[in-house]
Structure 1
Amino acid sequence: LPARDVVYDTGQPPVVPARSGPIRLAVSRSRPPEFVTALAEKLDAVLVPMGSAGVKGMAVVTGEADAYVHAGGQFEWDSAAPVVVARAAGLHTSRIDGSPLEYNREDPKLPDLVIAHPDVAEEVLAAIGTLQQG
């Protein structure tokens, strides 16, 4: 988080704070996707607008948000570092269907991802599943 003059790493992973209250979803401040807006409605969650993928991923690590769900596609390099730090800190990381994230593939596009506090990960994934079923 260069704007905050903070660097997170896996050598001494951050301690994720306990969560309480309604689920808070990190979302793009300039273009919140319909998918996440519908997810927030399904979860009765609060949208927390913020900047880049890295900022949103680290917001879950720092407790500013409880989950970051991205379903619009991005490149591996947009999420690789935030995901590894989130994993080291004990957070849930996966694709939106719950399958593992895979990096270093021939095609560097990553279609979707979830970074979530372990207390809400199952609930978030279940809500995503019901939205996908229509």
Structure 2
Amino acid sequence: MTDAELAAHLAQVAGRILLQVRDSDMFEGKSLGYAGDQTANQFLIHALRQQRPNDGLLSEESKDTEERLTKERVWIIDPVDGTREYGESRPDWAVHVALAINGESQIGAVALPDLGQVLRSDRPGLVPRAPETLRMVVSRTRPAKEAVAVAEQLGAVLVPMGSAGAKAMAIIRGDADIYLHSGGQYEWDSCAPAAVAMAHGLHCSRLDGTPLRYNQTDPYLPDLLVCRQADRLKVLDALEG
């Protein structure tokens, strides 16, 4: 099984597990989110340790160690991206499984279990053309002020959505056009979505246009821009303005 096949398989299976946890009716709200996080994390951690024992590993739900910093290949996972949405039985949550090689997000899979989809870096498709009025996905609860300002300059409409993975995949799916985030994230929030988005030909960067770097000593990676290549300069120019 190739790395890309493994990422997609693990994301899909973890998504199925999460649906089963939710459908068990044993948990609700925050307790459902916690149960889902822990259950999916244990599956992903054990599977990766078995399938790729020599690689490093970084997970939102496991204690970080310095061991990964000695590795060229590091799996970066988020068992439930959008825990709040998952706990509320909304569809806009995701499972992230990615492989960073020498600091670059090269392989990734993002499962959208409620939509029955796994978007992956090794099977890119055509991204739908942009509509006349651009759509920008933002946080449901705290839209970044930079995103709101750029949307106003570009005449874009705001589309509230949960998970970072769901937001990035919305562009690939044709449901949105720009994802601009500045409210604070970590490597596991963007590594898999960035790998999948870039494989589909989208632009992914920090808000200053610099590349996203992974497997850093501090996994805090607070900002992210995902958009079509055709919209890259206008968004970056609007950010500077």
Is the shorter-chain TM-score for this pair beyond 0.5, marking a shared fold?
yes
Aligned to 1:77: 188
Q: Following the alignment from structure 2 to structure 1, what is the Cα–Cα distance between the partners of residues 211 and 181? A: 14
Q: Where is the strand percentage greater, Structure 1 or Structure 2?
A: 2
Aligned to 1:49: 160
Counterpart amino acid of 1:102?
R
Aligned to 2:138: 27
> Structure 1 runs of 4+ off > 3 angstroms?
none
> How far is 1:20 from its partner?
2.2
What does 1:1-134 align with in structure 2 at a 5 Å threshold? 1-130=112-241
Tell me if structure 2 keeps the 8 A contact 1:26–1:65. Answer: yes
Deviations 1:16-41 (A, max 9, x none): 11112122111112221222111111
Aligned sequence identity (%): 51
Structure-1-length-normalised TM-score = 0.92
Alignment: residue pair count: 130
3-state SS in 1 of match to 2:160: strand
Q: Following the alignment from structure 2 to structure 1, what is the Cα–Cα distance between the partners of residues 232 and 134? A: 10
Larger radius of gyration: 2
**Structure 2 residue runs without a partner (length 5+):** 1-111
Deviations 1:18-75 (A, max 9, x none): 1121221111122212221111111111111111100001011112111100111101
**Structure 1 residue runs without a partner (length 5+):** none
CA RMSD of aligned residues (A): 1.0
Tell me if structure 2 keeps the 8 A contact 1:8–1:14. Answer: no
Q: Following the alignment from structure 1 to structure 2, what is the Cα–Cα distance between the partners of residues 26 and 34? A: 13
Q: Following the alignment from structure 2 to structure 1, what is the Cα–Cα distance between the partners of residues 147 and 215? A: 27
Q: Following the alignment from structure 1 to structure 2, what is the Cα–Cα distance between the partners of residues 15 and 7? A: 15
Higher relative contact order (CA 8 A, sep 6+): 1
Higher mean alpha-carbon deviation, 104-113 vs 34-43, is at 34-43
3-state SS in 1 of match to 2:120: coil
